A and B are shown apart, each in its own frame.
Chain A
Amino acid sequence: MPESIVTILDVAIGGLLLGSIYALIAMGLSLQYGVARVLNIAHGEFIMIGAFCTLTLYTVVGINPLVCLAIVGPVIFVIGFLIQRTLFTKLRTSAPNQAAYEGSSMLATFGFMFIIQNIALIAWGADYQAYTYLNFGVNIGGAIFSANKLVILGFSIGIGVGFYTFLARTRMGKGIRSAAQDATTASLMGVNINHVLALCFGFGAAMAGMAGVLYSMRITLNPFMGLQYTVIAIIIIVLGGLGSIPGAFLGGLILGLIGEIVTKIDPSLSLAAHYFMFLPLILVRPKGIFGK
């Protein structure tokens, strides 16, 4: 296979991988903001926690990182569920209006960012850490890919699609979607709104956690890594239209591809490029590419 095609394939797989991780994170945040109306500044911290737990479970206890998905996901779900059920429910019921609730809940999540970051700092220290798992080459038509890249790609797309199907097909999914349309009407129609919002926040956090589990195979971890993913997730859900799950999925993939291309050109510019794209876009189309 010619060199150029290998490079293109390499960038495409890398971009899809990054994009599928972004998509998971963004779908999670989209659920939290789109339905529960919490713009979660601590979203990236759940990624960081998911990643660090996997590191410990794998290197200390010896549990396979893919099995960790089944442990970390549910645990973070429960934590997220309880946070929404207690704290944000109180904020929501005491806020005079929607804007006040959105503002105060966002500030509260900033407090969480602090708490989670510093718990991680005590638990894992400030140094960069990493582990290796499935780090051998797989030959696809002449191009060599690291096996973990393909595994991450497969799992994250699987989780993303699975979750979307859950929202689209199941009864609970319908409850969530109707709450996203109009919380008051949904609650009048017998949907337990506090329960649904808590489910959303829990699922959102769990998706971030699982993205962390998967991505930990390829990156170095430290307690302050979360914020950049929060910002990327915010950018994606704005691009995809606030609250749109398919928009978050597609937006994630697109931003991942662009990020990978820029990284090939100048790695130190890649994050700046992410943010820079966002600024003109929010000005021209504040409702997002896919927003109505």
Chain B
Amino acid sequence: MNITAFTFKKSLVPGLLLVILVALVTLPIYGSLYNVILVTSILMYANLTVSWVLFSGSTGYMSLATAAFFGIGIYASALFLPTTGAVFPVLVVVLIGGLASSLVALGVGALTLRLRGIYFAIFTFVLVVLIMELGIWWELSVSHLLGRYVILVDNNVIFYTMLGIFVLVMLTTFFIRRSKFGLAMRSIGENEEAASHIGINVTMVKVITFAISAFFMGATGAIWATKLTYVDPHVAFNVLFSFMPVLMAIFGGMGNIYGPVIGAALFAYLQETLQTEFPEIYMISFGFILVAVILYLPNGVLGLIQKLWKRISGGKRAHT
């Protein structure tokens, strides 16, 4: 890459980001209700995916606990924002959802983040189902409720809250990646043993990162619940939300900060379109897309575009 292209890109990126942000903030003014709702669910997936990458992408620990943290956030809303009368304002509940999730993450992380490889993935996967089962048991035996209703919140409020969380999680990721803490995370992902022997407190770094990522997942769940309006343990702790962020991250590519966002946006858009156009076969086609992505796009769409670009530009840099 030569110098002019580099500086051009440097000034291009913040400009582009500003344009996108302005377009998003003003969306409820010029966009239709459908667009606002669509972008809200894109942002929801983007939040989960970016938070997932924040922890798993850098440390190399594949967490499947996303649905657990997301679900804890959803239940925070179900408990504190019932239709019979909200206990707290929406934003406070969003905060509660995030904090509750990160507390659980601190506990779970301290216990399990010494499990290596597939064990950590298995543990977090079982954790989601366990929390769901405990939720079902609690609702059936203790509170005698099948599900709970959450108050209706204005679509624009949901949208702006989701956008707010998105901006926060992006900024957090951006600053962590550039910080000393981010260097520690990457070192752990590269070689945990070596990282510990150069003075990095690997357990602490992993647990804190896990909790930060869980915070955003919980907050996202809390505001998402107001869109769902009806919540039960099956809805809240759906394992789908553990796997989607992983697939979206792979789809977009994890090499840089915007890959996961692009992956989430494309995937969520695809999901919404399939759901409205072909409701009968949308889930099946979705499954096929998932498998195809893993088979043919191991480096994500961005990787594919880069590959194509190299081929178009004569493959001069293909071997470096």
Contact = CB atoms under 8 A, between A and B. Distances in A.
Q: Do chains A and B touch in the complex (CB under 8 A)?
A: yes
B247 A107 contact: yes
Contact of A111 (B62, B127, B291): B291
Contact of A94 (B112, B283, B289, B298): B298
Contacts of B134: 272
12 contacts: A39-B121, A103-B62, A111-B287, A111-B290, A114-B286, A114-B290, A118-B287, A235-B126, A266-B141, A278-B126, A279-B126, A283-B111
A113 B115 CA distance: 26
Residue from A111, A115, A122 with most neighbouring chain B CB atoms (10 Å): A111
Interface in A91-123: 91, 94, 99, 102-104, 106-108, 110-115, 117-119, 121-122
B294 interface: yes
Tell me what chain B mostly uses at the interface: helix, strand, loop, or mixed: helix
Closest 3 interchain pairs by CB? A114-B287, A111-B290, A115-B287
A275 interface: yes
Interface string A229-253: 0010011001000100000000000
Nearest to B284: A118
A262 to B, nearest CB: 11
A134 interface: no
Given A87-B291, A104-B294, A272 B137 contact: yes
Given A108-B295, A231-B129, 11 more contacts: A99-B118, A103-B62, A107-B246, A112-B287, A115-B291, A231-B125, A242-B118, A272-B133, A275-B129, A275-B133, A279-B126
B155 to A, nearest CB: 29
A90 B295 contact: yes
A87 B112 CA distance: 32
A66 interface: no
Contacts of B126: 231, 234-235, 275, 278-279
Interface in B93-131: 111-112, 115, 117-119, 121-123, 125-127, 129-130
Contacts of A282: 115, 119, 122-123
A189 to B, nearest CB: 27
Given A94-B298, A107-B246, A235-B126, A114 B115 contact: no
B288 interface: yes
A8 interface: no
A133 to B, nearest CB: 29
A271 interface: yes
A94 B299 CA distance: 12
Contacts of A115: 284, 287-288, 291
Chain B interface size range: 35 or more
A122 B283 CA distance: 11
B136 interface: yes
A238 B288 CA distance: 29
Nearest to A99: B117
Given A234-B126, A268-B140, A286-B119, A114 B284 contact: yes
A150 to B, nearest CB: 30
A279 B122 contact: no
Interface of A: 39, 87, 90-91, 94, 99, 102-104, 106-108, 110-115, 117-119, 121-122, 227-228, 231, 234-235, 238, 242, 266, 268-269, 271-272, 275-276, 278-279, 282-283, 286
A234 B136 CA distance: 21
A157 B250 CA distance: 42
Contacts of A118: 281, 283-284, 287
A105 to B, nearest CB: 8
A96 B289 CA distance: 22
A112 B291 CA distance: 7
A122 B298 contact: no
A58 B298 CA distance: 43
A269 B136 CA distance: 9
A110 B122 CA distance: 13
Nearest to A95: B298
Contacts of A111: 287-291, 294
Contact of A39 (B118, B123, B298): B118
Contacts of A283: 111-112, 115
Residue from B127, B133, B247 with most neighbouring chain A CB atoms (10 Å): B133
Contacts of B160: none
A110 B243 contact: yes
Contacts of A112: 287, 291
Contact of B125 (A99, A234, A276, A286): A234
B50 interface: no
B118 A102 contact: yes
Contacts of A107: 243, 246-247, 250, 290, 294
Nearest to A274: B133
A76 to B, nearest CB: 18
Nearest to A88: B295
Contacts of B127: 279
